[in-house]
Structure 1
Amino acid sequence: MDIIHLTYPERPVEDPAVIALGFFDGVHLGHQRVLQVALEKGRQLNVPVAVMTFDPHPKQVLGQGTEQVRYITPLDRKLEKMAQLGIDRVYVIEFTITFSELSPQDFVDHYLIAAGACHIVAGFDYSYGRFGAGKMETLDFHSRGRFDHTTVSEHQADKEKVSSTRIRHLLASGAVSEAATLLGEPYQTKGIVIHGDARGRQIGFPTANIRPEFSYVIPKLGVYATFVHLEDGRKYPAMTNIGRRPTFYETGDVSIETHLLQFDEDLYGQELKLEWMAYLRDERAFDGIDSLKTQLAQDKINALQALTV
């Protein structure tokens, strides 16, 4: 798959293709439907299929809201999933203030017509140009007769729209298995193992303290059943805690610590990938080390059960 990075005023080279439009955070089942429609159209027209997306998120650049923008998928994972689906080419446009000020017509002229688009595919709620003034209903007018388009209707699961916002809300509530259903795969995060306070090893449950490499959506505080992928490709069942370790600290920063089951090696400095499979329990303070160890032993049993279903 060809990946072409563009920063305004750079234009794509004309190379006829069906182009799918969207930010595609998560490349979830709704996004996959858009991409499948584009792939079907590409086969009909016998031309390559491209995606035109943006990085970073517009909210990050335009400063909408006070909270840090968090993502379901970093760009590299988004591109991996698109390649797996069979996309031939991806245009990644750097989202800048200057780019955001393009009129809908300028966006179409500068990027879609310039790229040689012969057909456009996007979801029903896609918008383009300054203030999102361009809609799928206006695309025929802005196309200057150079291409036509397909609008993909809302994709639902359990009578509710499948969306990145819905998946973020599920993760924030700890519903990682439900989020996986909408993503079409378990939710994934990556991070580097850093030194912690080694309390887990002292009580017989050594943990890898993971520093996320990216501004991921972090699931709610609690204990989870996870799979951990090592740099060498090995995969282990694990139980992972997101929290402030209230048994030991009254206050503290949120940390992500994972205990790999049936494993005892040094992981410091390694990049680990976590697959979040099931929520086990809330984080809570215990009245002593013995009660904590008893709960951790039960967590281990529950994690193994969740991971072998």
Structure 2
Amino acid sequence: MDIIHLTYPEQPTEDPAVIALGFFDGVHLGHQRVLQTAIEKSRELNLPVAVMTFDPHPKQVLGNGTEQILYITPLDRKLEKMAQLGIDRVYVIEFTVAFSELSPQDFVDHYLIAAGARHIVAGFDYSYGRFGAGKMATLDFHSRGRFDHTTVSEHQADDEKVSSTRIRRLLADGAVAEAALLLGEPYQTKGIVIHGDARGRQIGFPTANIRPEFAYVIPKLGVYATFVHLEDGRKFPAMTNIGRRPTFYETGEVSIETHLLAFDEDLYGQELKLEWMAYLRDERAFDGIESLKTQLAQDKIHAMQALTV
């Protein structure tokens, strides 16, 4: 898959294709329906299929700076998923203030027509141009007759729209298994193993303290059944805690600590990928080390059951 990065005023080179439009955070089932529609149209027209997306999120550029923008998928994971689906080419446009000020017509002229679009595919709620003034209903006008388009209707699951917002809400509730159904795969995060206080090793449950290297949406505080992928490709079942360790600290920063089952190696400095499979329980304070150890032993059993190990 070809990846073409552009920063305004750079324009794409004309290379005829069917182009799917969207931000695609999560590349969830709704997004996949858009992409699959574009793939089917490209086969019908005997053309390559391309995606035109943006990075970073518009709110990160145009916001007032007080709200941290969190993502379901970093750009590299988005691109991986698109390649797996069969996309031939991706245009990644750097979202800047200057780019945001393009009128809908200028966006169509300088990016879609310039790229050689022969057919555009996007979701029913896609907007483009300054203030999002361009809508799918206006695309025929702005296309100047150079391309046709397909509008993909809302994709639902359990009578509710599948959306990135819905997936973020599920993750905030700890509903990682439900989020996986909408993503089409388990929710994933990556991070570097850093040194902690080694308290887990002292009580018989050594953990890898993971620092995310990206502004991920982090599931709510609690204990989860997870799979951990090492840099060498090995995969291990694990139980992972997101929390402030209230048994030991009255207050503290949120940390992500994972205990790999049947594993005892040094992981410091490695990048680990976590797949969040099931929510096990809330984080809570215990009245002593022994009661904590008893609960961790139960957590291990429940994690193994959840992961069918």
Distance in structure 2 (CA, Å) of the matches to 1:176 and 1:115: 38
Cα deviation per residue 1:254-284 (whole Å; 9 max; x = unaligned)?
0000000000000000000000000000000
Structure 1 residue 66 displacement after superposition: 2.9
> Secondary structure at the residue paired with 2:285?
coil
Structure 1 residue 239 displacement after superposition: 0.1
Structure 1 residue 301 displacement after superposition: 0.1
Which structure 2 segments of 5+ residues have no match?
A: none
Structure 1 residue 90 displacement after superposition: 0.1
17-26 vs 64-73, which deviates more? Answer: 64-73
Distance in structure 1 (CA, Å) of the matches to 2:285 and 2:275: 26
Partner of 1:291: 291
Cα deviation per residue 1:5-39 (whole Å; 9 max; x = unaligned)?
00000000000000000000000000000000000
Cα deviation per residue 1:20-59 (whole Å; 9 max; x = unaligned)?
0000000000000000000000000000000000000000
Partner of 2:35: 35
Distance in structure 2 (CA, Å) of the matches to 1:307 and 1:207: 18
Distance in structure 2 (CA, Å) of the matches to 1:241 and 1:203: 15
Cα deviation per residue 1:104-155 (whole Å; 9 max; x = unaligned)?
0000000000000000000000000000000000000000000010000000
Give the alignment's TM-score, normalised by structure 2: 0.99
Query: What are the within-5 Å matches in structure 2 for residues 1-309 of structure 1?
Result: 1-63=1-63, 66-308=66-308
Distance in structure 1 (CA, Å) of the matches to 2:234 and 2:288: 35
Cα deviation per residue 1:205-256 (whole Å; 9 max; x = unaligned)?
0000000010000000000000000000000000000000000000000000
Structure 1 residue 69 displacement after superposition: 0.2
> Secondary structure at the residue paired with 2:287?
coil
Distance in structure 2 (CA, Å) of the matches to 1:152 and 1:271: 37
Structure 1 residue 100 displacement after superposition: 0.3
Query: In structure 2, do the counterparts of structure 1 residues 165 and 147 end up closer, same or farther at CA, with 3 Å as the change threshold?
Result: same
Structure 1 residue 78 displacement after superposition: 0.1
Distance in structure 1 (CA, Å) of the matches to 2:78 and 2:217: 15
> Secondary structure at the residue paired with 1:6?
strand
Distance in structure 1 (CA, Å) of the matches to 2:156 and 2:66: 30
Structure 1 residue 64 displacement after superposition: 5.3
Structure 1 residue 65 displacement after superposition: 7.1
60-69 vs 219-228, which deviates more? Answer: 60-69
Distance in structure 1 (CA, Å) of the matches to 2:64 and 2:167: 20
> Secondary structure at the residue paired with 1:276?
strand
Distance in structure 1 (CA, Å) of the matches to 2:122 and 2:64: 24
Distance in structure 1 (CA, Å) of the matches to 2:307 and 2:187: 14
Cα deviation per residue 1:172-209 (whole Å; 9 max; x = unaligned)?
00000000000000000000000000000000000000
CA RMSD in angstroms comes to 0.7
Distance in structure 1 (CA, Å) of the matches to 2:96 and 2:273: 30
Distance in structure 2 (CA, Å) of the matches to 1:2 and 1:67: 33
Structure 1 residue 71 displacement after superposition: 0.2
Which structure 1 segments of 5+ residues have no match?
A: none
Distance in structure 1 (CA, Å) of the matches to 2:251 and 2:93: 41
Distance in structure 1 (CA, Å) of the matches to 2:134 and 2:201: 57
Distance in structure 2 (CA, Å) of the matches to 1:67 and 1:209: 26
> Secondary structure at the residue paired with 1:217?
coil
Query: In structure 2, do the counterparts of structure 1 residues 64 and 164 end up closer, same or farther at CA, with 3 Å as the change threshold?
Result: farther
Structure 1 residue 86 displacement after superposition: 0.2
Structure 1 residue 294 displacement after superposition: 0.2
- Structure 1 runs of 4+ off > 4 angstroms? none
Distance in structure 1 (CA, Å) of the matches to 2:12 and 2:281: 50
Q: Count how many residue pairs are aligned between Structure 1 and Structure 2.
A: 309
Distance in structure 2 (CA, Å) of the matches to 1:148 and 1:196: 56
Give the alignment's TM-score, normalised by structure 1: 0.99
Structure 1 residue 67 displacement after superposition: 2.1
